Amino acid sequence: STGLSSFKLDSVNNLDFLTLPKGRSDLIDNIEANIIIDYAHNADGFEFFLSSIKDYFRNLVVVFGCGGDRDRSKRSKMLMSAFKFSNDIIFTSDNSRNERFEDILSDALDGSVNRDDITIIENRKEAIIYGSSIIKENDCLVILGKGHEETQEIKGNVMHFSDYEVVDEIYNRFE
C-alpha cells in the first residue's frame, strides 16, 4: 500500500502541514491590514490569483509593474487582468532593466485603459506606501510581481529591494 488512502482521510480537512514558498499568496501577518505579496508576473497568473481572492475582500488595491527588456506584448494583458479584478491599480516599476519606465507604461496602457483610471508611481517603495495608505477595513493591498525577490534592476543597476521590507517598514513589524 502506498499510504495514499490514509493520507487522503487524514488530510482532507486539514492542510495545515502545507506551506507555500515565500512570495506565493503570502498574507502578511502581525499587522492591522490585509496585505498579500505574490510572485504572479503575467496575465494568467494575475487572473488566477486575483479571481481566487476577490470575493474575500471589499476592495482589492493592486500594485504591480512590468519587467523591462522582456515580452512587450504581455504588458497590456497584465494591466487588463488587474483592471478586471481590482478596484484600484497602482502601476509601478518592476525591474525596468535598461528600458524607460514611460515606455513600459505606454505598452501596458496600449490604448485599452485610460491613464486617468490608474495611479502611476514609478518608485516601487512609494507605490506600496501609497497603496497602504488608501486601503480600509476589509480591503486588501495585493503586491504582485516580485514575490520573494530581493533586488530591483533599473537602468542596468541592480540594487537591494524587497516588497517585504517595505511592508515591514510601513507597519513597524520588527521594532
Pairing state of beta strands 88-91 and 59-64? Answer: parallel
Q: Residue 111 — pLDDT band, cuts 50, 70, 90? A: confident
Parallel, antiparallel or unpaired: strands 139-144 and 119-120: unpaired
Residue 168 — very low, low, confident or very high, per pLDDT cuts 50/70/90?
Answer: very high
Q: 69-96: per-residue pLDDT in tens?
A: 999 999 999 999 999 999 999 999 999 9
If one compares 97 and 9, the residue with the highest pLDDT of the two is 97
Q: Percentage of the chain with pLDDT > 70?
A: 90
Asked if residue 142 belongs to a domain, the reply is: yes
Phi and psi dihedrals of 138, rounded to 5? 70, 10
pLDDT of residue 172: 86
Look at phi and psi of residue 111 and say left if phi exceeds 0, alpha if psi is from -120 to 50, else beta: left
Structure confidence at residue 12 (pLDDT): 52
| pLDDT tens digits for range 137-153 | 999 999 999 999 999 99
Q: Give the pLDDT confidence score for residue 146 in this predicted structure.
A: 97
The number of C-alpha atoms within 13 Å of 11 and in the hemisphere containing its C-beta is 10
Contact 114, 83 (CB under 8 A): no
DSSP the chain: --SHHHHHHHHTT--TT--PPTTSSEEPPSSSS-EEEE---SHHHHHHHHHHHGGGSSEEEEEE---TTS-TTHHHHHHHHHHHH-SEEEE--S--BTS-HHHHHHHHHTTTS-GGGSEE-SSHHHHHHHHHHH--TTEEEEEES-TT--EEEETTEEEE--HHHHHHHHHTTT-
- Can you read off the three cell numbers belonging to residue 169? 517598514
Give the chain's mean pLDDT.
Answer: 91
Q: In this structure, is residue 2 part of a structural domain?
A: no
The parent domain of residue 51 ranges over: 19-171
We report the CATH number of the domain holding residue 74 as 3.90.190.20
Does the structure show a pLDDT above 90 at 39?
yes
Q: How many distinct structural domains can be found in the chain?
A: 1
Instruction: Report pLDDT for 24.
Output: 92
Q: What is the pLDDT of residue 17?
A: 72
Looking at residue 175, what is its pLDDT? 56
Residue 1 lies in a domain: no
φ and ψ at residue 17, rounded to 5 degrees: -75, -15
Q: Report the alpha-carbon distance of residue 134 to residue 128 in Å, rounded.
A: 10
